[in-house]
Structure 1
């Protein structure tokens, strides 16, 4: 099983926190890294969409949207019936697992590039499409009989979330500019791995910071965070094969299915379901699923693709 070098920075951040080091990225630098990664992913996807986009993108996009909407429906009964959580908390946490972690996707892209695994270059489109459906499904599960007027502000919040805006904005600019975008790609392309390494350094520290929360929330949260990631990864891989993706595309869709949001969904649910326990949702997605995917899931998915592909 091969481990990409950027994972080492995640481990360094986690170890530094566990050793009580004062290592911490300045807030402004962390936000700058996040903005860079979102724009870089969107730009690359948009450029590729302008060059290689075809009608095949339409059924693939529909399949991905259905995929994003179905994952919360699988997670909810586990949390509600087996975990015994309230409907509100189960729906909110389930929505996190239908949406995606852009950072996890960025790590997967770094793996694919490092190990020469080709994939559909317009895949960033699917990352953007997966942000919203799970939010809608989660709200509908939490609030049976919700009125359209109640849903509207949440949809606005979800669509105007900085992650969605930067991804879709990057896609639009890349698709519009096409080859003209080559003037900015030395910055957004060649620096991608380095910026990702800095971002993961801070993410490792933040994940380690929440280890205490995992202990408080019992073994169920830990087992759910891992098992739901594995289940989403398996379904994503099978769907990628069904939709006719390349081996790299199957790998990336498996990673997207395995990941869980900790940016877009929490922001939307702070508006829609302010009484939901955000702590358990964030702990599950950020402190359990994210480290699991970076350290175990992504290398395993890559190894399986390379072996069977």
Structure 2
């Protein structure tokens, strides 16, 4: 059986391609984004309250190193095979080193739909992976010099919407625990699947709008937008084995490594590296990688995790 949230995304893509008169009002889309980010953070914070922060520190360090590695893998491919300029190569590389909160939410829904458990502190990894790739990407674009606006970059990265809401939700969930969040659980937990479905409907419309750009920039962005997630998923699966994560945890980390940012990184690069073309990066991340991950990628990463976890671990 197909997860219903995936069908909402397919509906959005189809409606966009047919140019249907369908679009969520901007305030509604913003509201749905806020709910998803806070719900993910709250749920991770509740679980974090049951964990020792020191026990999670080695995993946090390894995940952070993974996020640092990904842009260095993507950059030379974009620069030399894709023949893109330095700024665009660095921008796209940063997008693929960072993560997509929407893809993470779909992976969580995918596992819950199949009743596959995973480590509930995974939202912490989302926060950890948002930051390193942005810093590395800006260094690849600009180098390290006295002219680098580190203060502005830090403000844009750490006080961006996604980081503030995720970290804020984590801290609130951690402080309150399971019993403390019960009064707001109907809003943030019980409605999560429905909110995600509406969010994916809008994401399908946005993804369809990016497809027209592919006609102008050829097949390279399509190849990169599918190939890079697969490479990332292999790395994420290996990191999960190193950390001793469960089957579900492996799927989540592989999905995070395979995803590409479309919120935090564009905002940071618009401020620090304005000459980078956002159309190219958003076309790759939203027009190619996001649909690929939602429709085909996550089941592939599940199968990969099942192989490394042994017989009976796939479906």
Q: Same fold (TM over 0.5)?
A: yes
Secondary structure, aligned partner of 2:97: coil
Conserved in 2, the CA contact under 8 Å of 1:140 and 1:146? Answer: no
Conserved in 1, the CA contact under 8 Å of 2:142 and 2:148? Answer: no
Secondary structure, aligned partner of 1:248: helix
- Report the CA distance between 1:52 and its aligned residue: 3.1
Moved more, 6-15 or 142-151: 142-151
Conserved in 2, the CA contact under 8 Å of 1:231 and 1:258? Answer: yes
1:191 aligns with: 191
1:127 aligns with: 126
Give the superposed CA RMSD.
1.3
1:53 and 1:121, CA in 2 relative to 1: closer, same or farther beyond 3 A?
A: farther
1:166 aligns with: 165
- Report the CA distance between 1:54 and its aligned residue: 4.9
Conserved in 1, the CA contact under 8 Å of 2:98 and 2:265? Answer: yes
Secondary structure, aligned partner of 1:284: helix
1:216 maps onto 2:252 in alignment: no
Q: Structure 2-normalised TM-score?
A: 0.95
Q: Measure, in 1, the Cα distance between the counterparts of 2:233 and 2:226.
A: 11
Q: Measure, in 1, the Cα distance between the counterparts of 2:214 and 2:122.
A: 33
Q: Measure, in 1, the Cα distance between the counterparts of 2:298 and 2:24.
A: 25
1:73 and 1:183, CA in 2 relative to 1: closer, same or farther beyond 3 A?
A: same
1:86 aligns with: 85
1:13 maps onto 2:9 in alignment: no
Q: Measure, in 1, the Cα distance between the counterparts of 2:53 and 2:161.
A: 28
Moved more, 45-54 or 69-78: 45-54
1:237 maps onto 2:237 in alignment: yes
1:63 maps onto 2:62 in alignment: yes
Conserved in 2, the CA contact under 8 Å of 1:53 and 1:122? Answer: no
2:259 aligns with: 259
Q: Structure 1-normalised TM-score?
A: 0.97
Secondary structure, aligned partner of 2:181: helix
Name stretches of at least 5 consecutive residues in structure 1 with no aligned partner: none
1:47 and 1:222, CA in 2 relative to 1: closer, same or farther beyond 3 A?
A: same
Q: How many residues align?
A: 308
- Report the CA distance between 1:253 and its aligned residue: 0.3
1:123 and 1:88, CA in 2 relative to 1: closer, same or farther beyond 3 A?
A: same
1:284 maps onto 2:284 in alignment: yes
Name stretches of at least 5 consecutive residues in structure 2 with no aligned partner: none
Q: Measure, in 2, the Cα distance between the counterparts of 1:108 and 1:161.
A: 23
Conserved in 1, the CA contact under 8 Å of 2:98 and 2:260? Answer: yes
2:39 aligns with: 40
- Report the CA distance between 1:176 and its aligned residue: 0.6
Q: Measure, in 1, the Cα distance between the counterparts of 2:303 and 2:3.
A: 12
1:250 aligns with: 250
- Report the CA distance between 1:205 and its aligned residue: 0.8
